[in-house]
Amino acid sequence: MAKEKSIYLCTECGGTSAKWLGQCPSCEAWNTLVESVADATPKNRYATTTRGLIASQPVTTLSEIEASDVDRQPTGIDELDRVLGGGIVAGGVVLIGGDPGIGKSTLLLQALDSLSRGMKTLYVTGEESGAQVALRSRRLGLNGSQVRVLAEIQLEKISATLDQEQPAVCVIDSIQTVYSDQLSSAPGSVAQVRECAAQLTRIAKRSGTTIVLVGHVTKEGALAGPRVLEHIVDTVLYFEGDTHSSFRLVRAIKNRFGAVNEIGVFAMTEKGLKGVANPSAIFLSTHGDPVAGSCVLVTLEGTRPLLVEIQALVDSGGPSPRRLSVGIERDRLAMMLAVLHRHAGVSASDQDVFVNAVGGVRISEPAADLAVMLAIQSSLRGKALPRGFIAFGEVGLAGEVRPAPRGQERLKEAAKLGFSVAIVPKANAPKKPIEGLTIHAVDRIEQAIDVVRGL
């Protein structure tokens, strides 16, 4: 096949240019041009495919369109089905990202093996040889697995195999290793990843094959290269967790076929990933006696409350003290330190402040604020919070403590796990007392600090 000419496509506005330029000639954005294939009929190429990924149809009134719910095929791995919104969808494209070694290949091999009992499956490996995949499957105890394996990185060959094999589900491990002959850039480059993902998505839509793309994440935690990928695919899942601990979370960032608020929780065992059906207590570390700088937070991930220990260490710093956080946004930490100082008179301005959410969970909900601030204050005072203490609540810049959604559920879960003292936003205070739990309802941060000083 003759090599087609490249054009450069702006990732912001979709404008094109015949050669690479630093600035897009159409929208004047900088560094947005990426290499792409120039098709003989460029209009057709994108008209029905990459943008909407569905064939064009006449204009219809919304109420007249038949709204049938999509059929979901459960993967047989409950925690994965939970994040997927029930299972995989024919023709759906799923992107699953995560750090190296976190368990992406392991989970997908397990899922494919389970699916292969009822349908045709194909595992395309670009990172490991067939023998390595086989070795892993034996280690996972998947003997006699019917999963078909192809070790290949060239898109055109993968595409031909898909046409030939017609699997119901295909995993591409990983999209960064795949390259198309049509582009001159190296595998893993933005242009290649984009083009290959778009082509594979087209195949999925056309053939009804569910395609799962494995993606690597960069040091910053974004999927390498293309945010554009997130727009092309139907579902984006992220693996998170500390590779040194055995627990892993799978979180949905986007799901065209379901809700995105669920997380799946797994434990890595020597037999692969096992679902954890009742995960609320797995992110607590086990201290014999309470220690200073530790505060347990009840966070709500999806429909299940999770108890997560927040640890803070405040230590005298140099001329420009450091603020570091793991699992909590650093900007948010800076804001909380300012609020603590301004409204509660707790100053850490000449101190290094380190904050960590135990177990490698990433907490994005603002309801973590109160627990983080109490952990910082506890470390600063060198005095532990009482045994069985929990807190949650968002803290605003004015020092007000705002309610967290579904406070009752959080408190009930904490009580069930034997926690006995709680500081919560006033609006989250339960009307009826919860057995075994003493609740202090506060509406300002200084009140919360006063309460812990008196405990």
Q: How many angstroms separate the CA atoms of 26 and 126, rounded?
A: 37
Query: Applying CB under 6 A, which part among 51-59, 148-156, 269-277, 414-422 lies near ligand TYD?
Result: 269-277
Please list the alpha-helical segments (H only) found in 223-263. 228-232
E strands present in 256-334: 263-269, 272-275, 294-301, 304-316, 323-326
Which one of residues 101, 405, 418, 436 is an interface residue with ligand TYD (CB under 6 A)? Answer: 101
The yes or no reply on residue 6 touching Mg ion (CB under 5 A) is no
Shortest approach of Mg ion to residue 253 CB, angstroms?
20
What phi and psi values does residue 345 have, to the nearest 5 degrees?
65, 20
Do residues 85 and 229 make contact, with C-beta atoms less than 8 angstroms apart?
A: no
Please state, in angstroms and rounded to a whole number, the distance separating the CA atoms of residues 210 and 31.
33
Binding to Mg ion by residue 105, rule CB under 5 A?
yes
Per CB under 6 A, does 36 bind ligand TYD?
no
Looking at 80, 83, 88, 104, which residue binds ligand TYD (CB under 6 A)?
A: 104
Cα-trace Rg, the chain: 25
Q: Contact at 8 Å (CB) between 401 and 445?
A: yes
Strand ranges (E), 317-411: 323-326, 351-357, 389-391, 394-395, 401-402
- Measured N-to-C along each axis, helices 330-344 and 445-454 cross at an angle, to the nearest 10 degrees, of 80
**How many degrees, rounded to 5, is the angle at CA 454 between CA 449 and CA 455?**
100
Among the candidate windows 63-71, 98-106, 224-232, 276-284, which touches Mg ion by CB under 5 A?
A: 98-106
- From residue 131 to residue 160, the character string flagging contacts with ligand TYD as x (rule: CB under 6 A) and all else as - is -----x--xx--------------------
Applying CB under 5 A, does 176 fall inside the site for Mg ion? no
Q: How many residues bind ligand TYD (CB under 6 A)?
A: 15
Strands (E), 45-168: 72-73, 88-89, 93-98, 121-125, 148-151
Site string for ligand TYD, 186-215 (x = CB under 6 A): ------------------------------
Q: Which residue among 270, 289, 318, 319 contacts ligand TYD (CB under 6 A)?
A: 270
283 strand-pairing partners: 308
Stretch that binds Mg ion, among 101-109, 156-164, 387-395, 414-422 (CB under 5 A): 101-109
Contact between 110 and Mg ion by CB under 5 A: the answer reads no
271 binds ligand TYD (CB under 6 A): yes
Closer of 8 and 123 to Mg ion (Cβ):
123
Which listed residue (84, 233, 268, 452) binds ligand TYD by CB under 6 A? 268
**Rounded Cα–Cα distance for residues 367 and 387 (Å):** 21
Distance in Å, CB of 180 to ligand TYD, minimum = 23
Q: Closest separation between CB of residue 102 and ligand TYD, Å? A: 4
272 binds ligand TYD (CB under 6 A): yes
- Minimum CB separation of residue 127 from ligand TYD in Å reads 8
Helix axes 369-381, 330-344, angle to 10 degrees: 60
Site residues (vs Mg ion, CB under 5 A)? 105
Residues at the site binding ligand TYD, with contacts judged by CB under 6 A: 98, 100-106, 136, 139-140, 268, 270-272
